[in-house]
């Protein structure tokens, strides 16, 4: 069972992380939702205006960049791959696998995590529209970067916002590893400065956004009822499932993100186990002629959920 669960999570990770990159034209037309998952308006997160005199920051950045090593450049490229949240997606999926978090709770963790990083990046983009200072590449072309710097403003840093929000929410979910995630976030943010692609104040502002969003996410997590302890008993009787360890029996009581209530679209109860309808379905199942090919297809859809190339 554990191997199947691990394989299922691995396939989910592959599906989420192997989507084709969007073209620059497509990205240019992406617009954040009018309302966030954790904030009603992206403007409700206060971000101080960027310093108008960038000379001091440029001098500070020049000192940082001068200490850059090939290893720093490699780490920058690693963190920059796929945008602000790509690596953090990998990290949370690895943590879920390593800690063997069961699927109902894993879905809850992923929803909380992604709501936080989504809002953190969206707030950064919203605030960036009103940032008035010139991009770093225009302010000081002498600052050499490992990649072509973006033409627009880098204030506030969406990478810093995502890293901070991700690390703090991960620290809430896996408290024993909180210091590890915090160190990862620091490395991710420092990489932006070592690469010379963001001002120090970009990172400071992004960090503040991430902290504000993470606080909202953690407060939401503590009140979503997922920590409630089940004290009931498994009903007994003919046709009823029976075991000693039901997985997340209270998951249906957890606070949903989109539904008005957890049972909003719940179907009607299944037919009785001893009904003619169930007997006919069972007879059809028993009569099915299994083959190696049909077994392969069944395992593919059960374990991988269609996350890889469809079998012949």
Structure tokens at 209: 């956004």
pLDDT at position 5, please? 43
Q: Specify the 3-state DSSP secondary structure of 15.
A: helix
**Residue 6 pLDDT greater than 50, yes or no:** no
How far is residue 41's CA from residue 197's CA, in Å, rounded to a whole number?
Answer: 28
pLDDT tens-digit profile of 51-99? 877 778 888 888 888 888 889 888 999 999 999 999 999 999 999 999 9
Fold of the CATH domain 35-222: Vanadium-containing Chloroperoxidase; domain 2 (1.10.606)
Structure tokens at 49: 């205006």
107-113: long-range pairs with CB below 8 Å, 24+:
108/224, 108/226, 108/251, 108/254, 109/173, 111/257, 112/169, 112/173, 112/217, 112/220, 112/221, 112/224, 113/88, 113/166, 113/169, 113/170, 113/173, 113/217
Average pLDDT, the chain: 83
pLDDT at position 58, please? 84
Q: How many CA atoms lie within 13 Å of 263's alpha carbon, on the beta-carbon side?
A: 5
Confidence band of 34 (pLDDT split at 50, 70, 90): confident
pLDDT tens-digit profile of 134-177? 666 555 566 666 666 666 778 899 999 999 999 999 999 999 99
pLDDT at position 302, please? 78
Provide the H-helix boundaries in 29-134. Answer: 55-66, 70-80, 86-98, 103-128
Global confidence as pTM: 0.77
The residues spanned by each domain of the chain are 35-222
């Amino acid at each position: 069972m554990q191997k199947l669960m691990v394989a299922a999570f691995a396939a989910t990770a592959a599906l989420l992380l192997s989507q084709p990159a969007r073209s620059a034209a497509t990205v240019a037309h992406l617009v954040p939702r009018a309302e966030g998952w954790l904030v009603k308006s992206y403007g409700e997160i206060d971000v101080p205006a960027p310093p108008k005199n960038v000379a001091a920051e440029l001098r500070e950045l020049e000192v940082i960049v001068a200490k850059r090593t090939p290893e720093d450049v490699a780490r920058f490229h690693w963190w920059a791959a796929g945008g602000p949240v790509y690596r953090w997606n990998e990290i949370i999926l690895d943590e879920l696998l390593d800690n063997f978090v069961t699927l109902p709770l894993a879905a809850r963790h992923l929803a909380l995590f992604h709501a936080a990083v989504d809002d953190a990046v969206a707030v950064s983009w919203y605030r960036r529209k009103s940032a008035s200072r010139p991009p770093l590449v225009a302010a000081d072309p002498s600052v050499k970067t490992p990649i072509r710097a973006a033409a627009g403003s880098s204030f506030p840093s969406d990478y810093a916002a995502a890293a901070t929000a991700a690390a703090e929410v991960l620290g809430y979910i896996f408290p024993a590893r909180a210091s590890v995630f915090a160190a990862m976030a620091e490395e991710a943010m420092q990489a932006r400065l070592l690469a010379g692609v963001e001002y120090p104040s970009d990172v400071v502002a992004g960090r503040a956004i991430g902290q504000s969003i993470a606080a909202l996410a953690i407060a939401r997590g503590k009140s979503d009822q997922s920590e409630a302890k089940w004290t009931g008993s498994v009903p007994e009787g003919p046709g009823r499932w029976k075991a000693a360890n039901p997985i997340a029996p209270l998951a249906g009581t957890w606070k949903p993100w989109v539904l008005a209530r957890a049972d909003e679209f719940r179907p009607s109860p299944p037919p009785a186990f001893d009904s003619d309808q169930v007997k006919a379905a069972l007879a059809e199942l028993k009569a099915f002629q299994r083959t190696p090919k049909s077994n392969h297809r069944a395992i593919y859809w059960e374990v991988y959920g269609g996350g890889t190339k469809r079998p012949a």
